[in-house]
Amino acid sequence: MADKRDYYEVLGVNKNATDDEIKRAYRKKAKECHPDLHPDDKGAVERFKELNEANEVLSDPDKRARYDRYGFEDPMAGMGGENPFSGGFGFGMGDIFDQLFNGGMGSRTTRNQGPVQGNDLRYELRITFEEAAKGCEKSFEIFRNELCETCKGSGAKPGTSPVTCTSCKGTGQIRQSSGWMTTVRTCPVCGGSGKMVKEKCSSCGGTGRTRKKRTVTVKIPAGIDDGQTIIMNGQGEPGLRGGPNGDLYIVVGVKPHKLFKRDGFNLLLDFPISFVTAALGGDVEVPTLSGPIKYRIPEGTQPGTEFRIREAGIQKLRGNGKGDLILKTRVEIPRRLTNKQKDLLRQFDETTSDREYDNRKGFMDRVKELFQ
C-alpha cells in the first residue's frame, strides 16, 4: 500500500472537508482528468480510477470513518487479505455484523432515496480543419430523456401523487431472514424509491421521463485538436429526486486537410518546386489558412530543406499568438523533355564540375580515399 496516495490528497481537500466540499472537488477533478480529454496520456485512465476510488471511500460516511482510523492498513489482513466488499481495504468487526444483520450487501435506504445526478451524454461532432483552426459555432440535435412536462417528473396522473410503497413500507428495501442470517435487496415494486404510482401519467406511462429531441449550440474554440472534448455542464439528462443534471461531453473529430498536416499548433506543408527554382531561387506563392502569400526561395535550395513562416499556423488554444507554417521543399525533376531541352541540359552539365555539387564532391573524395 506504500505506493497509494492519500485519498484526501487525490481529491485535493483537507481532512475536515464537508460532504458537499468532497462532492464538488470530485466533480471538478473528474472533468479535468477525464481520459477523453487526454487521449495521448497513457496514465490518464489510472489517475481517473484513483480519483473514483478516493471518492467512493470519502463520500461514504462509514468507509471514510474506517479510512480515517486505519488508513490503508487492513484489519482483515490476517484473515486472508483485503475484504472484497470494502472497495479496497478491510472492515472492522462491527462492520461485518452490520453487513450481516443491518443491510446485507445492498445499498442503504438513504442512498436509494437520496438525490441522484442525471446521466452524462456523449456526442461526436465532426468539423473541418479550417473550423478547428479558426474556431466556429456549431448546432446539432441530440435525443435525451427529460422530466415529463405533464406530471413534472412524478410519473403520477395530474391531480394525484405517488403513495408509499405497500411492499417495502416506504423503505425501498425488502428484508428476508433465514435463521440468524438477514439479507436485503432492492424492492422490485418501487425500484428502491419507497414510492409507487397508482394512477400513471398518460404522457410518460408513469416513468416521469419523456424522450425529447433538442438542438444544442456550442462554441468551438480556435485551435482545438482532433479527439479533444468540450464539456457542457448541465446539458445531460435530469437527475432523480432533485439531483443535478448530468453533463454533455462533445468529442470533436477534425477532418483531414487536402494540403496541410498539423503538428501541435504548427502546420506542415510539402511544397514542390522546380529544379530551376531550387538552383536559381525565386518568388513562389505559398497557400496558408488565411490565403496565399509570397515567399522567396533562396538559390541553391536542396531537396527536403525546411523553411519556417512565423505566425502562419494554428491559433494557440487558450493562449496568444499562432504556431508556424513549415514548408518542406520537394524538388521535382521534369519528365517528357523535348530534344532541345535535353541538349540544353547536356550543355549545362558539360560546363559544371564537382565543385558546384557539395554532396557529390564530398562523396567522390571519400571514394578516392577508400581506394587509395
Please tell me which residue, 208 or 356, carries the higher pLDDT value: 208
The cell numbers describing 46, all together, are 489510472
**Which of 153, 155, 152, 148 has the alpha carbon at shortest distance from 211?**
148
Residue 338 clears pLDDT 70, i.e. is over it: yes
Model confidence over 15-70: pLDDT tens digits?
A: 888 988 898 898 888 878 777 677 677 788 888 888 988 998 898 888 888 888 77
What's the pLDDT score for residue 168? 87
Contacts of 134 (CB under 8 A, 6+ apart): 222, 289, 315
Domain spans, the chain: 116-153+207-256, 261-371
Q: Under CATH, what is the fold of the domain 116-153+207-256? A: HSP40/DNAj peptide-binding domain (2.60.260)
Residue 252 clears pLDDT 60, i.e. is over it: yes
- Overall size of the chain counted in residues: 372
Contacts of 219 (CB under 8 A, 6+ apart): 135, 136, 137
The cell numbers describing 143, all together, are 435525443
What's this model's pTM, rounded to 2 decimal places? Answer: 0.60
DSSP symbol at 147: E
Residue 140 clears pLDDT 50, i.e. is over it: yes
Please tell me which residue, 287 or 359, carries the higher pLDDT value: 287
Taking domain 261-371, whether its CATH number is 2.60.260.20 is answered by yes
Q: Do domains 116-153+207-256 and 261-371 have the same CATH topology?
A: yes
Residues forming a β-bridge with 200? 156
Exposed/middle/buried for residue 17 (C-beta within 10 Å: 0-12, 13-18, 19+): middle
What's the pLDDT score for residue 152? 87
Model confidence over 267-312: pLDDT tens digits?
A: 999 999 999 999 999 999 999 999 999 999 999 999 999 999 999 9
Residues forming a β-bridge with 123? 250
Q: What is the mean pLDDT of residues 5-13?
A: 91
The cell numbers describing 250, all together, are 462533445
What's the pLDDT score for residue 180? 63
**What average pLDDT does the chain have?**
83
Contacts of 227 (CB under 8 A, 6+ apart): 39, 251, 252, 253
Model confidence over 73-131: pLDDT tens digits?
A: 645 433 333 433 334 333 333 333 333 333 333 333 344 556 788 899 999 999 999 99
What's the pLDDT score for residue 108? 38
